[in-house]
Amino acid sequence: MTTSLNGMRIAILVTDGFEQIELTSPKEALEKEGATTVIASEKAGQVQGFHHDKKADHFLVDQLFDDLDANDFDAILLPGGVMNSDNIRMHESARKFAQTMSEKKKPLAVICHGAWLLVSAGLVMNRTMTSWPSLQDDIRNAGGRWQDREVVTDDNWISSRKPDDLPAFNNAFIAAIADYKQRSVAGTEDENAVGLAAG
């Protein structure tokens, strides 16, 4: 299976205080495979990245949460960072976007504290996933199954615990998007074949 992600658009949802490497590492890996990444946030301008508890770089915001349309994207990435993850879960538009992307079975990748958004969006029930260890009670209390592994894949979800897991996380996310792309192309070809037969 080819991992070319040409034509794939990935929404990266963050607010100030995200763990910078959990955005930059997947973003670079995705773009290297030909994907387009879009940084979305609560407000226009820039968002502040962090290296753990220290301020790092600023990143331009491409789109607002309120303007996100699941039909425009093929996958969603949720970086962690305590401040970011505690804030983003309070934004209804971010929760709704995650809900719609998950309902549409589009690849959803979450790492570290990013799982808080999925808990608040009511999406964790009956899901198997991992996260930063301190979130395991939140996930279990929300009806999910928590595992201490570097990467966990459950249907269209990919989850990891921390920055050390990024190589495995990136590879699993790229593979999931490539598979989604392949299935989408196959589905389009089937629809065209049905249309031709009917005509």
Q: What is the CATH number of the domain that holds 80?
A: 3.40.50.880
What whole-number percentage of the chain has pLDDT above 90?
89
Do the beta carbons of residue 76 and residue 156 sit within 8 Å? no
**Residue that the structure tokens 């996930």 belong to:** 139
Sign of CA pseudo-dihedral 31, 37, 43, 44: positive
36-63: pLDDT as tens digits: 999 999 999 999 999 999 999 999 999 9
In a domain, 38, yes or no: yes
In a domain, 178, yes or no: yes
Cα angle for residues 13, 162, 137 (degrees, 5° grid): 85
The pLDDT value recorded for residue 190 is: 58
Indicate the average pLDDT of the chain.
94
In a domain, 15, yes or no: yes
In a domain, 3, yes or no: no
Question: What is the pTM for the complete model shown?
Answer: 0.93
| 50-76 b/e (C-beta count within 10 Å ≥ 16 → b) | beeeeeeeebebebebeebebeebbbb
In a domain, 199, yes or no: no
139-171: pLDDT as tens digits: 999 999 999 999 999 999 999 999 999 999 999
In a domain, 133, yes or no: yes
Mean predicted confidence (pLDDT) in 13-29: 98
In a domain, 2, yes or no: no
Who's near 145: CB < 8 A, 6+ residues apart?
A: 126, 127, 128, 129, 139
The pLDDT value recorded for residue 186 is: 80
90-125: pLDDT as tens digits: 999 999 999 999 999 999 999 999 999 999 999 999
Question: Which position among 51, 58, 91, 113 bears the catalytic label?
Answer: 113
In a domain, 159, yes or no: yes
Residue 155, domain extent: 9-187
Q: Is residue 113 flagged as an active site residue?
A: yes
| Domain tally, the chain | 1
